[in-house]
């Protein structure tokens, strides 16, 4: 404008400079957004790996506890029970006033005390919530103790004895899903279903709450939700650690349904009664 002569360059130069400056700013903003997106993905990946590692450690610990409980029950407890029965038979076979009778009585009492102690060890190695009965019983008590919506528990199929890590995983998923239903779903009813099939066991937790969009990555509306959005990854990690699958179905205003399915171990008895007789 101050030059005496107006040329095309006097107009094109400033416009090109402004365009380059705007393009540079937009490029930096795009790079910053991409960097932030990658950082969030890395954080989510690290959190999922930490959840999976924790689930694997928990599963290993529970498997070892189950092994110890089984060994104590099948060897020490059974041996003490046999000793007690043999001593009782010997006590009955002795004549009245036999000198060995007091010694046999003390030995039988010691065997009885040690048997009770062994059984206490077995109970102590059982996971909380399962030490007073079966998984179905624990889920039924969980349903009855709900402080929020009305919860109904149902059992389908022929119950089978499950390894302790299986029972713990299923119980924890039910507890987490039901707790999130109470906190976030605003549901009136919920249902917990435990289904035993020929080769797998499945747990479903369904509510009629406000639901949420699972694809949005914000789990705040139902059985699958969790504080900070980590409820779903934790449940999924538990399922994967045991070779199972985890699914969630929900939508705004459509309620939420979560399901965990675990393959039954080949050594599991087909009926719960077969294992309960021990």
- Domains in the chain (CATH in brackets) are 13-125 (no CATH), 135-275 (3.30.565.10)
For 253-268, what is each residue's pLDDT tens digit?
888 999 999 998 765 5
DSSP conformation class of 227: G
Q: What is the pLDDT of residues 104-163, one digit of tens each?
A: 888 888 888 888 877 777 666 665 556 556 888 889 888 888 767 889 999 999 888 888
Say if residues 192 and 143 touch (Cβ distance below 8 Å): yes
β-pairing, 150-156 with 200-207?
unpaired
From the centroid of its chain, how far is CA 256? 18
Q: Provide DSSP, 120-152.
A: HHHHHHSPTTTTTS-HHHHHHHHHHT-SSSEEE
**Predicted structure pTM score:** 0.52
Would you say 206 and 256 are in contact if contact means Cβ atoms under 8 Å apart?
yes
Residue 244's contacts (CB-CB under 8 Å, 6 or more residues apart) are: 169, 200, 260, 261, 262, 263
What does R_g of the chain's alpha carbons equal in angstroms?
Answer: 31
Q: Which pLDDT score is estimated for 20? A: 80
For 265, the 3-state DSSP assignment is coil
């Amino acid at each position: 404008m101050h030059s005496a002569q107006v040329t095309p360059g006097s107009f094109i130069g400033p416009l090109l400079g402004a365009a380059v400056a705007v393009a540079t700013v937009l490029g930096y903003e795009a790079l910053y957004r991409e960097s932030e997106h990658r950082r969030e993905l890395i954080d989510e990946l690290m959190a999922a790996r930490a959840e999976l590692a924790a689930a694997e450690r928990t599963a290993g610990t529970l498997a070892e506890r189950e092994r110890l409980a089984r060994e104590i029950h099948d060897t020490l407890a059974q041996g003490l029970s046999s000793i007690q029965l043999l001593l009782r038979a010997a006590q009955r076979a002795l004549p009245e006033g036999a000198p060995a009778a007091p010694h046999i009585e003390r030995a039988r009492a010691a065997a009885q005390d040690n048997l009770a102690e062994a059984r206490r060890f077995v109970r102590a190695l059982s996971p909380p919530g399962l030490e007073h009965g079966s998984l179905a019983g624990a889920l039924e008590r969980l349903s009855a103790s709900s402080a929020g919506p009305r919860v109904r528990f149902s059992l389908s199929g022929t119950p089978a004895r499950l390894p302790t890590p299986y029972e713990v995983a299923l119980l924890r998923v039910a507890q987490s899903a039901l707790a999130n239903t109470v906190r976030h779903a605003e549901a009136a009813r919920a249902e917990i279903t435990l289904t035993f099939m020929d080769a797998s066991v499945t747990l479903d937790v369904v509510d009629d709450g406000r639901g949420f969009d699972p694809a949005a990555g914000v789990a705040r509306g139902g059985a699958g939700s969790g504080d900070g959005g980590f409820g779903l990854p934790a449940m999924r990690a538990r399922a994967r650690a045991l070779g199972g699958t985890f699914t969630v179905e929900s939508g705004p205003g459509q309620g939420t349904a979560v399901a965990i399915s675990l393959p039954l171990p080949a050594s599991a008895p087909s009926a719960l009664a077969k294992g309960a007789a021990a």
